[in-house]
A = this chain, B = another copy of it.
Amino acid sequence: MSRQDPPIEPLGAETVYDGKQFSVRVGRFRHADGEEVEREFVHRVPAAVIVAYDDEHVWLVRQPREVILQYTLELPAGKLDVEGETPLQTAQRELAEETGCAAERWEEVRSYYPSSGYTDELVHVFAATGLHPTDAEPDPGERIEVVHWPLADLDAALAATNDAKTVIGLQWLRAIL
C-alpha cells in the first residue's frame, strides 16, 4: 500500500481444484530478502457492488444464501464474468438486472479484498444516483426481492444485514448523508 513496502514476487501457481465458481491454487511467492513462501488460495473473478439511492431510499435485495442457510439483505452486486466488461459496466448491468433501474451519476466509492489471507477476490463499490426505470424488464431471479429501504433508518438496515459488502456500503452511505 505504501512506497516503502518491499516487493512480493509471484513465482507461479498450480491449480489444484478447478470449480464452477472459483478455483483453488497453490502459489509460491518470494519476499525481497529472498525468503520463499507457499500459499493456498481461492482464485475468483472480481465483483462490483452498487449503493443506489435517491432522496429517501437505498435499493437493497433480499435473497437466499444457501451456503449459510439464510436469507440475507444485500446491496445489488454481481461478478465481472462478462469478457471485456469494466467494473463500472458490470455495476450498471447488475443494477438494471436486479432492480430495473439505470443511474445518471456513478461514483467509485472504494475497492476492498473480502479475505486477502486466502482469496484474491477484489470487490469494487460504486455509488449510483439520479435513478430512473429502464425499458428492460428487471430479472432479479425468482427468489430475489427488491427492498426500498428508508435512508432515515440506515441503522436498522445495518443491524439487519450480515453481509460484508452491504455493511461497507451502508456505513459509507450513513457517513456521507
Interfacial residues, chain A to chain B (CB-CB below 8 A):
1-2, 5-6, 8, 10, 16-17, 19-22, 24, 27, 29, 31, 37, 39-42, 44, 62, 64-73, 110-123, 143, 160-164, 167-168, 171-172, 174-175
Contact = CB atoms under 8 A, between A and B. Distances in A.
A113 B73 contact: no
A114 B162 contact: no
Given A24-B19, A118-B21, A1 B162 contact: yes
Contacts of A162: 1, 110-113, 116
Given A143-B31, A171-B172, A172-B171, A163 B17 contact: no
Nearest to A38: B66
Contacts of A160: 1-2
> Ordered nearest first, which 5 A-B pairs have the shortest CB separation?
A171-B171, A114-B114, A29-B66, A17-B17, A5-B71
Contacts of A122: 68
A114 B74 CA distance: 12
A91 to B, nearest CB: 16
Nearest to A16: B17
B67 A41 contact: yes
A113 B115 CA distance: 10
15 contacts: A1-B160, A5-B70, A8-B69, A17-B17, A19-B24, A21-B117, A29-B69, A37-B66, A41-B67, A68-B120, A68-B122, A113-B163, A123-B164, A164-B164, A171-B175
Contact of A67 (B118, B123, B143): B118
A65 B9 CA distance: 11
